[in-house]
Amino acid sequence: GESVGLHLPTLSVQEGDNSIINCAYSNSASDYFIWYKQESGKGPQFIIDIRSNMDKRQGQRVTVLLNKTVKHLSLQIAATQPGDSAVYFCAETFNQAGTALIFGKGTTLSVSS
């Protein structure tokens, strides 16, 4: 079946750097995308979402970029902090009642001081 994937399983950055986490999706019918953060021992938590009629959305220190032409999604974290260390997942779905979220494999972000 179609799936959402991430380019890199791990990413290591220094505190204060900007982080970019990438995700490729293959279902052209998907029209809603979400980034989740999962800290050790916890369930995933919502970070930011974006609909397919947008190509950029900004939150607090985070930005999601969507490139529908190449089916690519990215999460940018500005001024990365040690508390940002976690596993990050992208997820996709499409606008139909009863549709599940499909997740990628995740990228582990490690932030060193």
Partner 1 sequence: DVKVTQSSRYLVKRTGEKVFLECVQDMDHENMFWYRQDPGLGLRLIYFSYDVKMKEKGDIPEGYSVSREKKERFSLILESASTNQTSMYLCASSTQTGRGSAFFGQGTRLTVV
Nearer to partner 1, 75 or 102 (CB): 102
- Closer CB to partner 1, 19 or 103, in the complex: 103
Instruction: State the residues that interact with partner 1 by CB under 8 A.
Output: 1, 9, 32, 34, 36, 41-46, 49, 89, 91, 93, 95-106
Residue 6 Cβ vs partner 1, minimum distance, rounded to whole Å: 8
Least CB distance from residue 100 to partner 1, whole Å? Answer: 5
Task: Indicate the residue among 25 and 36 with the shorter CB distance to partner 1.
Answer: 36
* Shortest distance, position 103 Cβ to partner 1, whole Å: 4
Q: 109 Cβ partners below 8 Å, 6+ apart?
A: 10, 11, 12, 13, 19, 21, 77, 80, 84, 85, 86, 87, 88
Smallest CA-to-CA distance from 61 within 46, 38, 80, 42 is with: 80
Residue 83 and residue 95: Cα distance in Å, rounded?
A: 33
- Hey, what are 82's tokens? 């040690």
